[in-house]
A and B are shown apart, each in its own frame.
Chain A
Amino acid sequence: MTQNRLLKLLDTIMVPVLAMISGLIVMGILIILIKKPLFESYAILFSTGFGCEKYGNCIFITALERATPLIFTGLSAVVAFRSGMFSIGQEGQYLVGAVAAAWLGYVIHLPPILHPLLLMLAAMLAGAAYGWIPGILRVKLGVNELLATIMLNSIAALVTEHLVQFPMRADKSTTAHSPVIDKTAYLTSFVPGSNWGMGFVIAVIAVIVVLLYLWRTKAGYEQRMAGQSKLFALYGGIPSDKSAIRAMLISGALAGLAGAVEVMGVHHRIMTGFSTGLGFDGLTAAILGQIHPIGVFIVAILFSGLKLGAQLGLQLQLEIPRELGGTIIGFIILFVAAGKLYEDSIVRVRNWFARRNSHSLKG
């Protein structure tokens, strides 16, 4: 029994792990092509992205801070994909949630605990509403949700930009930003000097809740069945349209929550260029994490470390453009998608495992 579970786990993580290794090999090729030291680059990438120089100056803690919104947007993508909705609208829902949280953060004055709760609730509602649009368009009319969410993303980005530059603008500084939210709405951080704090805890709770929802509740089961086979779900009496809408609402709420946590825990306001492709990164984290909450959690931290390592390590120390980090992540997705490339090696590893186990049984 345990052996079967181990083999199953091995099967699940085999492709992502091999894809990661392949991505790092591509990185090596690119580094050799631009004539930079190969092994030093790897060492700097990992020691910067996942390392700690001294207490209080820990880039790994920054990586955990950056991973926080990514976990939410990744979970958002997981919930959508698992119900068969190919929504990539996390970016737009994230922005809508951030705007809602930033606005209520300085408009309404409430005592601590109550204020953050209200902001998170508002952001989740805003995100859910923005996720409902492509959901209802898909279910009622059959509008392609991929294209619809792409358009809704750019619409949200432009509207946010407008809001920050005009109605919500705090002062006439060179970079437009909204007023700072009340101190009561801040999320506390664990380490002084960093913004890694309560947001991360909320993210971990979200991982557990999504895990329980998808695999331990009736609604989650319906949703997964509707995602796997719409016809099968219909035969079983599952209203797949309803579960698709529900999935888009939950997915939107999670992405909106990402915006709220980012506003309350990190920036304490919203400014021009607030969207930095977090939604898209969440999508890739979901794909690489095998569309599983725990996978998303691990991959989000890995991604943030890789990006920070590329930005602070490779770019600052070796003058390698930081876009290398994003490029590698793209290649890793490509290798995951082309998982069949590894089929032979997976079979070989499985055989090796089986042989080893039979040996130990004999012994």
Chain B
Amino acid sequence: MEGFFSVFTVELLNSGIRLATPILLAALGGALCNQAGVLNLALESKMLLGAFVGILAAFYLGNSYVGLLVAMAAGGLLGLLFAFLYHKYKVDLVILAIAFNLIIVELTVFVMRALFGNVGSWSDPSIVRIPDIQIPILHDIPFIGPILSGYNIIVYFSWLVTIAMFIFLYKMRGGRHLRAVGENKSAAETVGINAVLLQTLALVISGALAGLGGAFLSIGHLKLFTRNMSNGRGWIAIAAAMFGVNHPIGVFLASLFFGFADAFSVRIQNVTDLPPNLVKLLPNVATLLVLIIIALRSKIALSMARRRFRSQLRADEAARPAETSL
């Protein structure tokens, strides 16, 4: 028993939270888009773009924090381009996402090789990794301190975004309008809500968040860029947004789940001698299972609603003879 639990350490929690961060940032953006009724399947490409542009900016401008901002701007711009193509030319968002995935995967390597020669991955000693910050008082609390403190600014920022998005969506007028657009676009437009603007806003913010999530990989967690560095995290983020029913808190918990699945598979590789390729399956299998759970959940909700409707119908019918007899 003890041997099994030796896997669960504070370090595992720490790395779980770290690995959850890029997924969380992208998934929050995805959830915002889903709430606004635009399908954002291109999180993967925005993440990869953020990872690449972030480390480039950190290198050329000599400041990793500036790199983060540039990564966000790049992701946001790509989101703006999506919104433009979607609203102006009615481009199919699924095909658009597939096209951009291919373009960004190849273009980032193309630019990397054009700039730095024929390399598979690139790093430079002058690049500074975003430093970890200990939160003064929180850090000294036993047990909770080491779990909640000691991450870099992106991790804390992702928590802030979770709270901010919750407040925006459920406590503010703009958020209510955004959800109304997602619920029924033409109805929202009839009452004077600018649906195009809100959907554009959602795509831009989601792009910026995914870009930041990507930059977390290249200058926050590691200190290098490799081909296809996001490695499917953008797709997992889409599943996380669905798993968390597009609610910021739900998305937060779902992302933590995927982060821990990731950290767990890394940890198991170090502790046991299970074949590494099979252990790496864990996050993918978890995602597939989650997709099935999501589907089952909505199916059950549908059948419950149907049953409620039927019993309501039966109750009405039972009431009617009583009325006629009066």
Q: Write out the residue numbers on chain A whose beta carbons fall within 8 Å of the beta carbon of B235.
A: 147, 150-151
Contact residue among B90, B102, B109, B296 (Cβ-Cβ distance under 8 Å from A333) = B102
The smallest beta-carbon distance between A10 and chain B, in angstroms, is 21
Interface-located stretch among B2-10, B14-22, B125-133, B285-293: B285-293
At the interface, yes or no: B272 with Cβ under 8 Å from chain A?
Answer: no
CA distance A86 to B97 in the complex (A): 13
Give the number of residue pairs across the A-B interface with Cβ within 8 Å. 124
Scan residues 99-149 of chain B and give those whose CB is less than 8 A from a CB of chain A: 99-107, 109-110, 113-114, 118
Scan residues 233-279 of chain B and give those whose CB is less than 8 A from a CB of chain A: 235, 238-239, 242, 275, 277-278
The answer on a CB contact under 8 Å between A327 and B95 is no
The smallest beta-carbon distance between B100 and chain A, in angstroms, is 7
The smallest beta-carbon distance between A342 and chain B, in angstroms, is 10
The answer on a CB contact under 8 Å between A333 and B298 is no
Q: Write out the residue numbers on chain A whose beta carbons fall within 8 Å of the beta carbon of B92.
A: 337
The smallest beta-carbon distance between A18 and chain B, in angstroms, is 14
CA distance A328 to B212 in the complex (A): 26
**B69-91 contact mask (Cβ, 8 Å, vs A): 1 or 0:** 00000000000000001000111
Q: Write out the residue numbers on chain B whose beta carbons fall within 8 Å of the beta carbon of A239.
A: none
Contact residue among B90, B232, B285, B299 (Cβ-Cβ distance under 8 Å from A340) = B90
Q: A159-B278, A324-B110 are in contact. Are A154 and B284 (CB under 8 A)?
A: yes
At the interface, yes or no: A171 with Cβ under 8 Å from chain B?
Answer: no
The answer on a CB contact under 8 Å between B284 and A151 is yes
At the interface, yes or no: B36 with Cβ under 8 Å from chain A?
Answer: no
The answer on a CB contact under 8 Å between A338 and B85 is yes
Q: Write out the residue numbers on chain B whose beta carbons fall within 8 Å of the beta carbon of A30.
A: 110
The answer on a CB contact under 8 Å between B99 and A152 is no
The answer on a CB contact under 8 Å between A143 and B291 is yes
Q: A34-B114, A137-B295, A143-B292 are in contact. Are A162 and B277 (CB under 8 A)?
A: yes
The answer on a CB contact under 8 Å between A333 and B95 is yes
Scan residues 135-156 of chain A and give those whose CB is less than 8 A from a CB of chain B: 137, 141-144, 146-148, 150-152, 154-155
Contact residue among A143, A150, A162, A329 (Cβ-Cβ distance under 8 Å from B232) = A150
The answer on a CB contact under 8 Å between A330 and B292 is no
Closest residue of chain A to B294 (Cβ to Cβ) is A143
Closest residue of chain B to A144 (Cβ to Cβ) is B291
The smallest beta-carbon distance between B76 and chain A, in angstroms, is 19
Q: A147-B239, A280-B102, A333-B102 are in contact. Are A155 and B288 (CB under 8 A)?
A: yes
Q: A150-B232, A323-B109, A329-B102 are in contact. Are A86 and B94 (CB under 8 A)?
A: yes
A-B contact pairs, 9 of them (CB 8 A): A30-B110, A141-B299, A143-B291, A151-B288, A287-B98, A323-B107, A327-B106, A327-B107, A333-B99
Closest 8 CB pairs of A and B: A330-B103, A326-B106, A330-B102, A321-B113, A323-B110, A162-B277, A141-B295, A333-B99
Besides A152-B288, A158-B280, 20 other A-B contacts (C-beta < 8 A): A88-B98, A142-B298, A143-B295, A146-B94, A150-B235, A151-B291, A162-B277, A165-B277, A166-B275, A323-B106, A324-B106, A324-B110, A326-B106, A331-B103, A333-B95, A333-B99, A338-B85, A338-B89, A340-B89, A341-B89
